[in-house]
Amino acid sequence: MPTLFDPVQLGDLSLATRIVMSPLTRTRAPGELANDLMRQYYAQRANPATGAALIISEAIQVCPEGRGYIDTPGLYTPEQTAAWRPVTDAVHAQGGKIIAQLWHVGRISHNLLQPGGAAPVSSSDKTAEGVKTRTHEGAKLASQPRPLRADEIPGVIAAYRQAARNAIAAGFDGVQVHGANGYLLEQFLRDSINDRSDAYGGSIENRARLLLEVMRAVADEIGAGRTALRLSPITPANAAPQDSDAQALYTYVAAQLAPLKLAFLEVVEGSTGGPRDLSDQGVKPFDYAAMRAAFGGPWMVNNGYTRQMALDVVAAGGADAVAFGRPFISNPDLGRRLRENAPIAPINPGTVYLSDATGYTDYPTLDEAAALAK
Ligand SMILES: C=C(C(=O)O)c1ccccc1
């Protein structure tokens, strides 16, 4: 069996190792534009020999209504598209690969962030209780959303399609659709949020419809081999209550995706950035192997993987690649540290969402830290 450090083919993406950098929102994109500080940050982590064999970008909104925080980037205008080109060029100059995570936050937003101060959109009018968003007027509780009308849904699908086209024009090697963590597509998937009575609500087939229509549109636009998806079957992130039957729902989705032959499916195991086992919260254990069997394609795992866990899951054939999030924030050369079993520097939680280089591009590599220590 291969090791974590062996090459792997994920659709059209040929990776030098199975070490992937997870999407990480960092709120360093004022005006929704990628910039030179972001170019530095991604380039620092892009060399497959020392960093990530594949970078999945921070979440990037596909339309104005898809924004839920200040200073997150977009991919829905020519200016936003052009702003990403220096970033993808810098990643490629390191021999790396990068795909764009395409995002629509749905109800995880506030009127202050919405065009014309309108209500955010979702599958229903259910508010994400207690969720805070970041506006120019400070942290605000998410606003009550309005349900998307059925005649608005083709426009949402078109926005994902156009953003995927823009991502390729910007030099990305592909895209990952964000179908996880309580955002729009998961707001349609789960019957704890979606109470629609039209073709996009009710049965599992109807609640999965929007996600599957988006995936088919993106794959049709840029090729399935450059199209990936992230799902989070049991995460409670962003006040997303559990579905009444997560196993049936997500196994159905995986089976419906199988014929598309996507580049990969990345699955967040447990609670995003939190516990992997939620049984103490009354959540039934989820059978990820059954979901993988239904999907049948390249499988990427995420959430709290240590070096040993990552080595073990790949060696056992339990995953084709492992995505690391927070460790890549504070270790730009994480790939080297994993290979050499070198110390993993911890993050400073207080600087994750600042707006400058502090806690962003100033974490040292092993060599830089050694030089500083002399
Ligand atoms: C895109 C995010 C996700 O997937 O949870 C996100 C957004 C804001 C802060 C942290 C994470």
In the chain, where the domains are located: 8-373
Ligand 1 mean position to 176 CA, how many Å?
14
Give the pLDDT score at 18.
98
For residues 181 and 232, is the Cβ–Cβ distance under 8 A?
Answer: yes
Q: Between vectors from CA 294 to CA 315 and to CA 286, what angle results, nearest 5°?
A: 75
Band of the pLDDT at 140, cuts 50, 70, 90?
very high
Percentage of the chain surpassing pLDDT 90? 99
For residues 249 and 207, is the Cβ–Cβ distance under 8 A?
Answer: yes
Task: Tell me the mean pLDDT in the region 287-311.
Answer: 98
Give the pLDDT score at 280.
95
Q: What is the pLDDT of residues 91-139, one digit of tens each?
A: 999 999 999 999 999 999 999 999 999 999 999 999 999 999 999 999 9
Catalytic residue list: 183
Give the pLDDT score at 218.
99
Which residue's CA is minimally distant from atom 7 of ligand 1?
25
Q: How far apart are the first and last CA of the chain?
A: 41
Give the pLDDT score at 315.
98
Give the pLDDT score at 236.
97
Cβ 25 under 6 angstroms from ligand 1: yes
Calpha distance 36→141 (Å, rounded): 31
Cβ 69 under 6 angstroms from ligand 1: yes
Conformation bin of residue 130: beta by default, left when phi > 0, alpha when psi is -120 to 50: left
Ligand 1 mean position to 245 CA, how many Å?
24
Select 8-373's CATH number: 3.20.20.70, 3.40.1410.10, 3.90.550.10, 3.80.10.10.
Answer: 3.20.20.70
From 19, 23, 24, 21, select the one nearest 351 (Cα to Cα).
24
Give the pLDDT score at 97.
98
Task: Tell me the mean pLDDT in the region 147-162.
Answer: 98
Which residue's CA is minimally distant from atom 6 of ligand 1?
25
Which residue's CA is minimally distant from atom 9 of ligand 1?
25
Band of the pLDDT at 330, cuts 50, 70, 90?
very high
Cβ 59 under 6 angstroms from ligand 1: yes
Closest approach atom of ligand 1 to CA 353 = 9
Ligand 1 mean position to 361 CA, how many Å?
19
Give the pLDDT score at 167.
99
The best mutation among 24, 25, 132 to test binding of ligand 1, ranked by most ligand atoms within 8 Å of the C-beta, falls on 25
Give the pLDDT score at 136.
93
Give the pLDDT score at 32.
98
Give the pLDDT score at 17.
98
Closest approach atom of ligand 1 to CA 237 = 5
Ligand 1 mean position to 221 CA, how many Å?
26
- ipTM for the predicted complex comes to 0.97
Model pTM above 0.95 = yes
